[in-house]
């Protein structure tokens, strides 16, 4: 075989495909020649940050990934944990930040499509979607464009395919103006023994490309997502989704697994046919041969380079027993889907790409996968700076509560989730609007609690503590619906890791995730790293988003956050110690945060819910106690009266109520119970070592905090339902 020997590329050309000059030098030395353009494109994709994790791989080894329920940890398309009765929950979170910055509707829509494929390629049926979104300030005209497009894209894809979007979060910060964050999470259910892996086996077995035709959309998207200048790219890097086709693909792929002829399955995501075929071969320690001339095309004139690197959506690569191709093709034909034979597994450890009879690329699989560099990051912590002190505001508590409820980061998210079908499939028990959602595991007594969390303000202040707090808040949200955390998936969104300050943020955040996951005994089973999130040379705040799944042994026990009438309010956790960073005061000292206290609180909440002693539960988080109580009142259309100085020690030594009402000190929750159950609730709290006190009652049509706040629910609702 003789391959075309091109001239050495320039540094700019290397950067365009995702490679650094030193990396190219290693590749050239390893091959003993210049890689041709097709090979260079594939190497750039596989060695990109998006596929190769070259700036984060060493750090990710710090995360705890094992546990008694773990069936599949990191390294596959998604992680899986045992639920019970022979079933497993499959979970994954991914980013689509860069495409969404270019074209928000399709960027977000195809992000949903991609995360769905990550789940059903494991043989699992998707049962829930969640999202975590970050935008610039609402006053920025571009924010409205991005926000509307992203929410529209999420709703369009999830609604059309019939998977409920049950939860998520949205926040606004000026530092996301040029680079929004769009993270999508999906959870599915599968019989544990039928879990599918993407591992090649059996030289001579056949590769089938199933689903949509291949076009130029999404070309070199992996390299684009590993570039610190997304504004310099073009619309062609954004894929175009077809959720109705993906619905057919989903059902056809799950159905074909019944026959036992499929040995492995891999979706075509970042780097398209290149990564899917190479990763499948690498996991099996084998080689692979692809014929691009056999790939069904949507457009005329596609070159082998374009075919191998296209990221056209709704495509899957299946490995089937040799001789079973015709049966598999007939199966997909019944769903009006093609299943084209595009290659086979080999035993020579090479990726060989043909275009008909012509060999257009030949590379060792080990070079593409095992020899991707893993960099030791050069970190540089920020210069010592004084922590901002909180200055006294001149609002009344009434004014402050209304301002907070109407603020962009705390107002109702109904404007978004009303566009999502959150009840399709009929298993949603607790839908969007609270801290965590709950879905029933169909045909069983089990339920899954689901939450996504991250507070960029905290992470900007202290990336390690901020990442740990994201884990703790997700666990707290699950505890408030009665679920025990069983698995984490994450999406680590940061700027350019080649900059020492960003490398420090990334390093600290991963240490924080590891600290919290170990303390709360919850493994990380899957995730994604999204780096180079910068615009105009300015990085986003460190944003280590945490997606968490919890288990309810009996889904009928699940509680929501909404107040009911004639109940007693009980505040759980240590009284706040100060007014630090938060929505009320802005930047300041990191709020009080203790992982052991979080563990005790979570155990207490689950015990109270299991004993049916509480009617509602809500964690005290952004905005503090006043906002938590107001939200529960608005959700339940029931007012509340807190007893003020006598009941919860509202005033400090200076007579101020600010700390009690608006502190975001962590490890706290508000629950309601019947008067007859109050003694039992307080006794349980003492047993678990959690401070607890009755602080008020529910009822009426106003929210009152002693003599300091007295606002009608209607006025609170007008503020809360403001659209950013």
pLDDT confidence of residue 6: 64
What would the pLDDT profile of 246-278 be if each residue is shown by its tens digit?
999 999 999 999 988 999 999 998 889 999 999
pLDDT confidence of residue 259: 86
**Domain contains 304:** yes
Contacts of residue 189, Cβ cutoff 8 Å, sequence gap at least 6: 83, 87, 88, 89, 90, 124, 125, 127, 441, 442
**Domain contains 204:** yes
DSSP 574: P
Q: State yes or no: pLDDT of 3 exceeds 60.
A: no
Asked if 431 and 422 touch (Cβ cutoff 8 Å), the reply is: yes
pLDDT confidence of 651, banded at 50, 70, 90? low
**Domain contains 524:** no
pLDDT confidence of residue 238: 72
DSSP 649: -
pLDDT confidence of residue 237: 58
Q: What is the mean pLDDT of the chain?
A: 92
Catalytic residue, from 50, 55, 156, 331: name it.
50
pLDDT confidence of residue 646: 44
Compute the average pLDDT of residues 82-107.
95
What would the pLDDT profile of 587-601 be if each residue is shown by its tens digit?
899 999 999 999 999
Catalytic residue, from 55, 96, 98, 156: name it.
96
Q: Which of 356, 376, 397 is the last residue of a domain?
A: 356
96 catalytic? Reply is: yes
Compute the average pLDDT of residues 566-590.
93
Compute the average pLDDT of residues 217-222.
62
**Domain contains 457:** no
Q: State yes or no: pLDDT of 38 exceeds 90.
A: yes
Helices (H), 139-294: 141-161, 221-224, 243-256, 272-284
SS3 of residue 693 by DSSP: strand
pLDDT confidence of 690, banded at 50, 70, 90? very high
pLDDT confidence of 16, banded at 50, 70, 90? confident
DSSP 302: -
Strands (E), 357-423: 358-364
pLDDT confidence of 230, banded at 50, 70, 90? very low
Q: State yes or no: pLDDT of 69 exceeds 50.
A: yes
User: What's the residue count for the chain?
Assistant: 724
pLDDT confidence of residue 49: 86
SS3 of residue 561 by DSSP: coil
**Domain contains 437:** no
Compute the average pLDDT of residues 363-385.
91
**Domain contains 107:** no
**Domain contains 15:** yes
Say which range, 130-144, 206-220, 362-376, 470-484, has the weakest mean pLDDT.
206-220
* CATH number of domain containing 669: 3.90.650.10
Q: Which of 301, 325, 356 is the last residue of a domain?
A: 356
pLDDT confidence of residue 394: 65
Q: State yes or no: pLDDT of 438 exceeds 60.
A: yes
Question: Which long-range contacts link 7-12 to residues 24+ away (Cβ below 8 Å)?
Answer: 7/34, 8/34, 9/40
Return the HEC string of 120-176.
HCCCCEEEEEEEEEEECCCCCHHHHHHHHHHHHHHHHHHHHHCCCEEEEEEEECHHH
pLDDT confidence of residue 2: 44
pLDDT confidence of residue 217: 78
Token pair of 531 as six digits = 């780096």
Compute the average pLDDT of residues 123-152.
96
Compute the average pLDDT of residues 57-84.
96
What is the percentage of the chain residues whose pLDDT exceeds 90? 84
Q: State yes or no: pLDDT of 408 exceeds 80.
A: yes
What would the pLDDT profile of 692-701 be if each residue is shown by its tens digit?
999 999 999 9
Compute the average pLDDT of residues 537-557.
96
Asked if 342 and 294 touch (Cβ cutoff 8 Å), the reply is: yes
Largest CA distance in the chain: 87
Token pair of 347 as six digits = 């035993």
pLDDT confidence of 385, banded at 50, 70, 90? low
Compute the average pLDDT of residues 532-550.
94
Asked if 192 and 88 touch (Cβ cutoff 8 Å), the reply is: yes
Asked if 193 and 123 touch (Cβ cutoff 8 Å), the reply is: no
**Domain contains 174:** no
Q: Percentages helix, strand, coil for the chain, rounded to the nearest 5?
A: 35, 25, 40
234 catalytic? Reply is: no
Cα–Cα dist 567/548, whole Å: 30
Number of domains in the chain: 3
Asked if 261 and 321 touch (Cβ cutoff 8 Å), the reply is: yes
Q: State yes or no: pLDDT of 644 exceeds 60.
A: no
pLDDT confidence of 19, banded at 50, 70, 90? confident
Token pair of 701 as six digits = 């049509």
Q: Which domain holds residue 695?
A: 559-724
Q: Which of 296, 327, 356 is the last residue of a domain?
A: 356
pLDDT confidence of 536, banded at 50, 70, 90? confident
pLDDT confidence of residue 224: 47
């Amino acid at each position: 075989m003789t391959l075309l020997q091109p001239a050495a590329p320039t540094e700019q050309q290397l950067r365009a495909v995702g490679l650094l000059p030193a990396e190219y030098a290693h590749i050239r030395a390893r091959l003993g020649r210049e890689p041709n353009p097709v090979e260079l494109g594939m190497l750039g994709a596989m060695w990109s940050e998006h596929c190769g994790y070259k700036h984060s791989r060493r750090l990710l080894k710090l995360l705890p990934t094992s546990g008694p329920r773990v069936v599949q940890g990191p390294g596959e398309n998604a992680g899986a944990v045992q639920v019970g009765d022979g079933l497993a929950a499959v979970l994954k979170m991914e980013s689509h930040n860069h495409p969404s910055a270019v074209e928000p509707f399709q960027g977000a829509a195809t992000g949903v499509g991609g995360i769905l494929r990550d789940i059903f390629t494991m043989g699992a049926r998707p049962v829930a979607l969640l999202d975590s979104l970050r935008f610039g300030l609402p006053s920025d005209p571009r924010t409205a464009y991005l926000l509307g497009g992203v929410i529209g894209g999420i709703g369009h894809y999830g609604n059309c395919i019939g998977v409920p979007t049950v939860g998520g979060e949205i926040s606004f910060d000026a530092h996301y103006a040029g680079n929004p964050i769009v993270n999508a999470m999906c959870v599915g259910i599968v019989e544990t023994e039928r879990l599918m892996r993407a591992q090649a086996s059996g030289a001579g077995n056949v590769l089938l490309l199933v689903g949509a035709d291949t076009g130029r959309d999404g070309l070199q998207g992996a390299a684009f997502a590993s570039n610190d200048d997304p504004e310099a790219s073009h619309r062609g890097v954004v894929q175009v989704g077809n959720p109705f086709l993906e619905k057919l693909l989903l059902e056809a792929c799950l159905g074909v697994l019944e026959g036992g002829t499929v040995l492995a399955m891999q979706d075509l995501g970042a780097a398209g046919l290149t990564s899917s075929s190479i990763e499948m071969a690498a996991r099996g320690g084998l080689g692979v041969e692809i014929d691009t001339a056999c790939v069904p095309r949507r457009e005329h004139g596609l070159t082998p380079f374009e075919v191998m690197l296209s990221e056209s959506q709704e495509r899957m690569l299946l490995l089937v027993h040799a001789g079973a191709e015709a049966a598999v093709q007939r199966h997909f034909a019944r769903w009006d889907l093609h299943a084209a034979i595009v290659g086979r597994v080999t035993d020579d450890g090479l990726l060989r790409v043909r275009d008909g009879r012509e060999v257009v690329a030949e590379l060792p699989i080990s070079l593409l996968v095992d020899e991707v560099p893993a960099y030791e990051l050069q970190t540089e912590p920020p210069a010592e700076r004084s922590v901002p002190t909180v200055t006294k505001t001149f609002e009344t508590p009434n004014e402050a509560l209304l301002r907070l409820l109407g603020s962009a980061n705390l107002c109702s998210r109904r404007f978004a989730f009303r566009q999502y079908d959150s009840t399709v499939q009929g298993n949603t028990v607790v839908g969007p609007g609270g801290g965590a959602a709950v879905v029933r595991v169909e045909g069983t007594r089990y339920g899954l609690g689901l939450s996504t969390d991250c507070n960029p303000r905290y992470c900007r202040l202290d990336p390690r503590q901020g990442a740990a707090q994201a884990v703790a808040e997700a666990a707290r949200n699950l505890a408030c619906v009665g679920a025990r955390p069983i698995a984490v998936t994450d999406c680590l969104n940061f700027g350019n890791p080649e900059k020492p300050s960003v490398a420090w943020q990334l390093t600290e955040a991963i240490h924080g995730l590891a600290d919290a996951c170990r303390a709360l005994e919850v493994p990380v089973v899957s995730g994604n790293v999204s780096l180079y999130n910068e615009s105009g040379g300015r990085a986003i705040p460190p944003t280590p988003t945490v997606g968490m799944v919890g288990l309810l042994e009996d889904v009928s026990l699940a509680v929501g956050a909404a107040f009911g009438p004639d109940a007693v309010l009980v505040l759980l956790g240590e009284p706040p110690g100060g007014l630090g960073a938060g929505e009320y005061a802005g930047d300041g000292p990191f709020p009080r945060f203790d992982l052991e206290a979080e563990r005790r609180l979570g155990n207490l909440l689950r015990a109270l819910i299991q004993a049916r002693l509480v009617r509602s539960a809500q964690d005290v988080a952004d905005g503090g106690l006043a906002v938590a109580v107001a939200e529960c009142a608005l959700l339940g259309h029931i007012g509340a009266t807190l007893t003020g100085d006598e009941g919860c020690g509202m005033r400090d030594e200076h007579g101020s109520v600010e700390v009690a009402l608006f502190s975001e000190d962590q490890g706290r929750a508000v629950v309601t119970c019947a008067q007859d159950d109050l003694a039992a609730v307080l006794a349980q709290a003492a047993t678990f070592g959690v401070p607890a006190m009755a602080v008020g009652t529910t009822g009426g049509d106003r929210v009152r905090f002693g003599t300091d706040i007295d606002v009608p629910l209607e006025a609170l609702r007008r503020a809360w339902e403001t659209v950013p």
